[in-house]
Each structure stands twice: as C-alpha cells, then as structure tokens.
Amino acid sequence: MRAIENPKVQRLARIATSLLWWGVLVFFVRSVVHTRDANPDHLLALATLGYLAGWGPYLLFSRRSPAGKSIRLAACTTSVVLAFGLIELPAVLRLVDYRSVFHTPTPPWRRTGNQPDPDLLYVREPNQRLRVQFQGSDLHRLEGASASKVYRCDTRLDGRGFRNAADLDSARVVIVGDSFVEGLQAADDELISSQLAKALSVPTANLGRTGYGPQQELEVLRRHGLPLGPRACVWTFYEGNDLQDVESYEASRDRVRKLRPESPTRDWFGRSFVRNGAAYLIRQGTHEPTIPARRQAGDFRDASGRTTEIYFSCGVHEGDADRVSSRAGSPALKQFQAILTEACALCRAQGVDLIVAFVPAKFRVYRDLCQFDPDSPCRGWPVDDLPSAVERAVRASGDDVGFLDLTPAFHARAAEGELVYLADDTHWSAEGHRIAALAVADFLKRRDAAKTALAGADRDHFPPASDF
C-alpha cells in the first residue's frame, strides 16, 4: 500500500498508463490505414478522435486546476486549427488542388480545370492554361527504373478546351482521338496536329482529349469537328485501351448523369490538404506490391550503338493478357464498328473524308527490337492481329472510309534506332508524333490524288507536302 503511495511509483504508473493509452490510439490509427476499405473520411475522423483522446491522460493525471487544463487544451487546439487553416487557404482560394500534389486518383470530371458533361463525361474548361506534371505511365508499380523522369506540360487551351494554338473557325483536317492526339508529353509544335498542318500546309485542328474513347470521340466529331467544315477527319484508334473504353463508357456516363451539384464545402473538401493527405497515407499503407523494373524492361540498341532500357507496363492490351486472343471477335469491336458506321454517315452527309488511323501499342512496335531477360514476362506476352480485325470493321462501316495502320511506319523508324515512343511511357515521343504526321499526310495525299483521278476533274486537292 505504501508502495502505491510512493510519488515515484505514482509517476511511473502515470507514464505507463499514458504510453499504453497512446499505444492503443496508434494501433487503431494504423489499423485504419492498413484497411483496404478505409477512406480518408474514416482516417480523419479517427485522427480527430485520437487527438482528443490523446489529451485523456493529461486531463486525468495533471495536478493543474480544471481551468488551467481547459485553457491549455483550447490553446493547443486553436494552434492546430490555425496551422491547418493556413495550409488549406490556397485550396479555399482555388490556387492549389491538393489532389494533384498528392496524386490522388480522381475521376476526370472531378479534377480542377474540368467539368462534367453528360455525353463526353468531362470537358476541359476553355481558354485555360493547363499545367500538369507526371511520371511515365509505364513505370506504374515498377521499382528501380533507370529512365525515370518527370514530364511537364504547360500549354494554353483554345475556346473549345483543346490543344490548338488559336481558336479555329474552320479547318481542312481535324484529328479526333485520345491522349495520343492531345499529347501532354509533347510540346505544342511537336504534336501530330502541328506537324500535319506543316506537312500539308493547311489548317489542322487537334480534337484529342486524354481518357476519351470511341463514343466520346463520335460526340467530339459531331459537336466540334464537323462544324469546322473539314475536308478530312482522321480518327485515331489506340489498340491498348479503346475497346475497354467502349465497354466502360455506359457505366461512366450513368455516374456522370447522376451527379448532383456539390456544396462549396464539399467542393473544397475534395481539393483539401487534409483529405488528400489522408488518402495518401492510406495508399501508402495498402500499396500494391512493386515489380523489379528489369522484369518489364527491354534493352534497345539505337543507331549509335547506345543501349536504352524501354519499359512496358503491358503488352498490346492494357489489362488481362489472356483477353488478347479474343479481341478480334469481341462485342466491343462490333460496337466500335457500329460507332464508326454512324460517324461515316455524318461525314458522308457533309462531304468529309473519314480515315481511321490504327495506333499500335509500344510493345507491338518494339517487341522484336529489344532484348529481354530470361525471366521477363514480356517474352510470353501474346500479340494478336488486331490491325486486320479493325480494318475489317472499318471496311464494314462504310466502303468509303479509309484505313491507315501506323504500325509499319513506326516499326521501320524504330528499326533504324529511333525512339518513336517514350522509353518509360505509353505514348509517342516527339519523333513519334512526327512519323505519325508524315504517314497521315502521305496517306491523305495519295487518297486525294486517287479521288481526283477517279473523278476526272480538277479538284481542290492538298498542296505538296514539305520535306521536314
């Protein structure tokens, strides 16, 4: 009994009780972080409760008066609130979106600078300065890559929210597509649209937008492309995910159409430091296992004899490799054919020449030009004949629709030792944009010349292409 009354024993008991108390709090916080179903709201609520509960031992064991304890609790809490308030002020003023800072996975229609759209799912706000930075997409889940870098894009969008240097009232050629056409990895003058305008000496409109699939591209053609009065529309089809985009579009459109306007508080909370910081901690606690980068890298020898590691996040299909064998006869390809049939009818009614350009995956171009380690899974990734299947779908959608497979042009240039795709990213390099533009320009000129000869009349054909 005397031992309990000993001040040293009491002090040790208070310390032990406090440590146990805070240990329990830390345990529960870590449990939330490592829970797969946890969300930022859970973690923030638990952190708030943990902060308040952390004062428990002090309030219980301190010999200060109740007023003194309350003043210290209030002073500390006020300091914490003011500190977070200063951090949150840029988000409140819309100067900073912490979703970008913490790379929080966010639907495109929720991101700063974008707006939801019932058919396009999202649109970019017009006339905005678009500044983004990101790592190469092929490095996802890979660890130890030697070619890792940060890509930065700083550009000004036109009045329609697309990457054109100026607002166009008309265009002889429009290019419709996804991230390959928008080209956030390339400078404005390196884009396929800029290079094609130079090759043909005609106004060319870039109507590409990251994340768009065939249904959205049809709406872009209807809403933005045809009103420009083009002679030709180049529609790019990326084999890596366009069929997946066809399959997922309806579900995403239902989500967007069910959206309700957010209150200013919820709108700020989506951009806030506390929410996105909490989301980052949860991702760190439940992160996916990484893969040694060498397992998904190939050694490519360029024309000068230098070896570059090229990384592949996937083969020719961004998803389950087992689905590659069934792509050519898939319902998604048939649905794409129906979408093209509608596009063909729209173009034919306005005298627009529709051309579908097949964009191959990086692996299709470089698989036989790289040396892979013996244990690399890349050696077993299947490659199908989707270009031929897409060509058949194009022919079935309308006998006047043109088809251009960009694979031969890319492979020929790659065989000369050039990187037409980025070493650590899915998309084209500046040279890839140039090669694509040259191939499209040559195709359009040959097609134009053939139609002129068939008509037996002097048509308003494209001027000679420049050698650039």
Say which residue the tokens 């990484």 belong to: 290
Position 116 scores a pLDDT of: 95
Taking Cα atoms as reference points, which of 133, 106, 132 lies closest to residue 269?
A: 106
Output 145-153 pairs: Cβ under 8 A, ≥24 positions apart.
145/293, 145/297, 145/309, 145/311, 145/424, 146/293, 146/309, 147/308, 147/309, 147/311, 147/423, 147/424, 148/424, 149/424, 151/184, 151/185, 151/425, 153/184, 153/185
Give the CB-side neighbour count of residue 273, counting CA atoms within 13 A: 14
Q: Are 226 and 194 in contact (CB under 8 A)?
A: no
Cα distance between residue 238 and residue 428, in whole Å: 12
Q: State which amino acid sits at residue 15.
A: I
Position 428 scores a pLDDT of: 97
Position 264 scores a pLDDT of: 86
Cα distance between residue 110 and residue 60, in whole Å: 46
Q: Which residues neighbour 173 within 8 Å (Cβ) at sequence distance 6 or greater?
A: 196, 197, 200, 202, 203, 204, 205, 230, 231, 232, 233, 234, 444
Cα distance between residue 422 and residue 214, in whole Å: 24
Position 204 scores a pLDDT of: 97
Digit-coded pLDDT (tens) for 260-300: 887 888 888 888 999 998 888 877 776 667 888 899 999 99
Residue 425 CB neighbours (<10 A): 21
Cα distance between residue 97 and residue 15, in whole Å: 42
Q: Under DSSP, is residue 178 helix (H, G, I), strand (E, B) or coil? A: coil
Q: Which residues of the chain have pLDDT under 50?
A: 1, 3, 458, 464-468
Position 280 scores a pLDDT of: 86
Cα distance between residue 425 and residue 421, in whole Å: 7
Please state whether 127 falls in left (phi above 0), alpha (psi between -120 and 50) or beta: left
